[in-house]
């Protein structure tokens, strides 16, 4: 009964506190939401200003305000540095970590999938990006969020366009364009319009592309966005090149390159040098093309696959013209690998034309014919794809009314939801007051709270347990290891660890299959647990690697335990899992000495494990000069 009284007293205090700050919270929440809107609409665009705004949000948002906490999480995801492929890969890992939060709602999961997909594309993983985009589009429609639908279809449309899937790309980009314009999101509307224009250029309609590009250039220049206007200029150059108007293309390329040089953007200038080299070669200006490519090569590396691939192709074309077919072939092989990595069929088709000519110049007529066949196949695939997509493209153009109606319905649904939210916020104070009246049912709530606490304990246990072996997982055993080390130092007692893993486990998986491998790991885990004392702790820290914590245990004692475990595993009959299967282990043993941390102790055990493997496996090595494997007849 006393627990119930405490619960009621706590409830009264909480409600009193809520009532006293309700007005202040309502005012602050409006300001928080306005700041979110500014960042998400790109009204704040400078990196430093964005970081300051995010810091302000972190300070203002209550940790129990889940919707805004999740919104902040999404903002953090999109604000990662992705200026290099390595940084983009790290950003994708960070996004994946955020996706693992069980508190994520559907909208948050969709946005984080978009975020991870975006970084995966920058990291050179277009297939992974497209998988994330597809799932994000589905979830965005589930929550009926026009902004999220626009973002998802814009990003997916861009990658589909790059891969040559123009029909779905155009439908995605046109839908996104209508939504951005309806939402009044000018910055994102302009970005999407750039992708739409580029899709028309790739699709074989450069005239339409140039019309869009000129609108964009004029808009960007009127806003003082000269970098964006220059990017559009480079797209105009490529559109003219697609129309075989190479003189006009070169005019725009040179203007763009001059701007990036004056703006001290050498990488951007180098990318233009690569693009303009194709037009220079077609115009017969080979010396200038060679000079531009030499400058570009100082900055364009393999991680810039889109530009690197064409750079190698153009260098090969020049080498072939200079009667250096061997050099040309080497350059073509490098370019081919880069084109394949980004799945650029259009580039590959052009490359195989040059490759066929190069092989013919080398007298390898059979390979030259094979390269020409590959070129024809790619060209036919592109042509067939283009032909089928022209019909779909026309349908897409004339189906804009349907898309507009769908978008209007989405916007209307969003307005209704926002209206409902406003009503809920207006009633918040009334709801808080009403809570006083429901204190009489807190006895039921207390039972519910108890069950929830039990469930939380279960969830905590599951979060600290390896799913396969039911042993403590890496996080759990490392935490206990740090605690044991602290206790051992405080009590000046012994403390040892055994780090062991299964020998040649990859061969087990390769030969018997992962299902058998998993069963073998369970047997290994059970065997290890059976050999340990009550105070010892065994955990799985990754793959086939396990860690044993031995509080109050000297190095010699730990070595005996490790050898006992090694023998037990060596003697274990695993034929009931799979005929002929056997498994041995190697172990490294270390004891707490002058280690400053658990990590240092673990490193010594890892070094001993490495020695055990280097010495032939199926043995135990103690940290230091002594190894139990040195005397196979030793009594353990």
Q: Is 619 exposed, middle or buried (0-12, 13-18, 19+ CB in 10 A)?
A: buried
Report long-range pairs for 157-160 (Cβ below 8 Å, ≥24 apart).
Answer: 157/192, 157/195, 157/196, 157/199, 158/195, 159/121, 159/126, 159/129, 159/130, 159/133, 160/130
pLDDT band at 144 (very low <50, low <70, confident <90, very high): confident
Query: Which of 195-234 are b and which e, b meaning 16 or more Cβ less than 10 Å from the residue's Cβ?
Result: bbbbbbbbbbbbebbbebbeebbebbeeeebeebbbbbbb
What is the pLDDT averaged over residues 389-412?
A: 50
Residue 166: which pLDDT band, with cuts at 50, 70 and 90?
A: confident
Does residue 4 form part of some domain? no
Cα 336–Cα 339–Cα 341 angle in degrees, nearest 5: 110
Q: Does the residue 557 lie in any domain?
A: yes
Q: Do the domain assignments include residue 139?
A: no
Rg of the chain in Å (alpha carbons)? 32
Full domain range(s) for residue 580:
474-630
SS3 179: helix
Cα three-residue angle 158-276-302, rounded to 5 degrees? 65
**What is the residue whose two structure tokens read 């004891």?**
591
Contact predicate 538/523, CB 8 Å? no
Per-residue pLDDT of 96-116, as tens digits, reads 999 999 999 999 999 999 999
Is residue 544 packed enough to be buried (19+ CB in 10 Å), middle (13-18) or exposed (0-12)?
buried
Assess whether pLDDT exceeds 60 at residue 403.
no
Residue 580 lies in a domain: yes
Tokens at 268, concatenated: 């951007």
Please give the pLDDT value at position 24.
Answer: 42
> What local confidence, expressed as pLDDT, does residue 627 receive?
44
Phi-psi region of 470 (alpha: psi -120 to 50; beta: other; left: phi over 0): left
Write down the pTM of the prediction. 0.50
Chain segment 562-580, per-residue pLDDT in tens: 999 999 999 999 999 999 8
Which CATH number do you get for residue 585? 3.30.70.270
Instruction: Spell out the residues 6+ positions from residue 255 whose beta carbon is closer than 8 angstroms to its own.
Output: 233
pLDDT tens per residue, range 9-25 = 445 444 444 444 444 44
Lowest mean pLDDT of 12-21, 74-83, 324-333, 490-499, name the range. 12-21
Question: What pairs with residue 539 in β-bridges?
Answer: 547
What is the crossing angle of helices 266-282 and 246-262, to 10°? 160
> Which three-class secondary structure state does DSSP give residue 158?
helix
Across all residues in the chain, what is the average pLDDT? 84
Number of domains in the chain: 1
pLDDT of 633 over the 50 cut: no
102 closest CA partner among 126, 52, 66, 127: 66
Beta strand 495-502 pairing with 585-591: antiparallel
Q: pLDDT grade, residue 193 (50/70/90)? A: confident
Phi, psi of 277 (to 5 degrees): -65, -35
Q: Return the pLDDT at 443.
A: 64
The answer as to whether 430 is a domain residue is no
- Contact 619/597 with Cβ under 8 angstroms? no
Does some domain include residue 563? yes
> Each residue of 333-364: pLDDT tens digit?
999 898 888 888 888 988 999 999 999 999 99
Measured in whole angstroms, the distance separating CA 616 from the mean position of its chain's CA atoms is 39
Which residue did the predictor score with more confidence, 448 or 392?
A: 448
Q: Is the pLDDT of residue 461 over 70?
A: no
Q: What is the pLDDT of residue 225?
A: 87
**Is residue 623 situated within a structural domain?**
yes
What is the structure's pLDDT at 625?
52
What ranges in 427-513 are assigned the alpha helix state H? 428-434, 442-463, 474-491, 505-512
């Amino acid at each position: 009964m006393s627990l119930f009284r405490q619960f009621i007293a706590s409830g009264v205090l909480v409600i009193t506190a809520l009532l006293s700050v309700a007005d202040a919270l309502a005012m602050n929440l409006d300001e928080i939401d306005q700041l979110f809107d500014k960042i998400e609409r790109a009204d704040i665009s400078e990196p430093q200003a964005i970081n300051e705004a995010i810091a302000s949000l972190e300070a203002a948002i209550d940790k129990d305000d889940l919707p805004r906490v999740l919104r902040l999480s999404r903002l953090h995801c999109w604000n990662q540095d992705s200026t290099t492929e390595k940084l983009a890969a790290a950003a994708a890992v960070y996004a994946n970590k955020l996706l693992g939060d069980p508190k994520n709602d559907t909208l948050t999961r969709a946005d984080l999938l978009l975020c991870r997909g975006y970084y995966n594309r920058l990291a050179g993983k277009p297939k992974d990006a497209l998988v994330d985009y597809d799932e994000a589009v589905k979830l965005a429609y589930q929550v009926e969020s026009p902004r999220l639908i626009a973002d998802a279809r814009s990003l997916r449309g861009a990658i589909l366009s790059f891969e040559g899937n123009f029909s779905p790309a155009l439908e995605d980009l046109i839908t996104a364009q209508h939504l951005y314009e309806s939402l009044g999101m000018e910055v994102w509307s302009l970005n999407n319009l750039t992708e739409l224009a580029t899709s028309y250029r790739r699709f074989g309609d450069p005239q339409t592309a140039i019309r869009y590009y000129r609108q964009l250039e004029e808009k960007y220049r009127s806003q003082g966005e000269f970098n964006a206007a220059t990017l559009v200029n480079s797209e105009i150059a490529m559109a003219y090149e697609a129309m075989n108007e190479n003189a006009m293309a070169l005019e725009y390329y040179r203007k763009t390159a001059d701007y990036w040089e004056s703006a001290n953007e050498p990488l951007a200038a180098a990318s233009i040098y690569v693009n303009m080299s194709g037009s220079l070669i077609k115009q017969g200006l080979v010396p200038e093309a060679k000079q531009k490519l030499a400058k570009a090569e100082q900055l364009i590396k393999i991680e810039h696959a889109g530009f690197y691939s064409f750079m190698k192709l153009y260098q090969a074309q020049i080498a072939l013209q200079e009667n250096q077919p061997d050099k040309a072939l080497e350059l073509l092989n490098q370019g081919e690998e880069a084109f394949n990595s980004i799945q650029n069929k259009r580039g590959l088709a052009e490359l195989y034309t040059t490759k066929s000519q190069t092989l013919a110049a080398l007298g390898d007529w059979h390979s030259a014919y094979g390269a020409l066949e590959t070129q024809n196949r790619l060209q036919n695939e592109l042509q067939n794809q283009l032909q089928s997509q022209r019909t779909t493209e026309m349908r897409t153009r004339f189906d804009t009314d349907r898309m507009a109606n769908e978008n209007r319905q989405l916007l209307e649904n969003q307005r209704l939801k926002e209206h409902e939210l406003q009503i809920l916020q207006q009633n918040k104070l009334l709801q808080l007051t009403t809570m006083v009246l429901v204190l009489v049912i807190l006895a039921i709530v207390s039972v519910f709270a108890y069950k929830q606490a039990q469930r939380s304990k279960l969830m905590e246990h599951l979060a600290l347990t390896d799913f396969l072996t039911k042993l403590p997982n890496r996080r759990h055993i490392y935490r206990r290891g740090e605690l044991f080390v602290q206790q051992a130092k405080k009590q000046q007692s012994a403390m040892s660890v055994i780090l062991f893993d299964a020998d040649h486990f990859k061969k087990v998986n390769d030969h018997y299959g992962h299902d058998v491998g998993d069963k073998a790991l369970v047997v290994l885990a059970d065997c290890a647990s059976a050999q340990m004392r009550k105070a010892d702790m065994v955990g799985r820290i990754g793959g086939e690697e396990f860690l044993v914590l031995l509080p109050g245990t000297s190095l010699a004692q730990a070595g005996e335990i490790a050898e006992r475990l090694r023998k037990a595993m060596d003697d274990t009959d695993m034929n009931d899992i799979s005929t002929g299967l056997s498994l041995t282990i190697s172990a490294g043993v270390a004891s707490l000495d002058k280690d400053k941390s658990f990590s240092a102790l673990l490193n010594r055990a890892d070094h001993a494990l490495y020695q055990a493997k280097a010495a032939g496996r199926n043995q135990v090595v103690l940290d230091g000069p002594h190894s139990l494997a040195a005397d196979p007849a030793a009594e353990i």
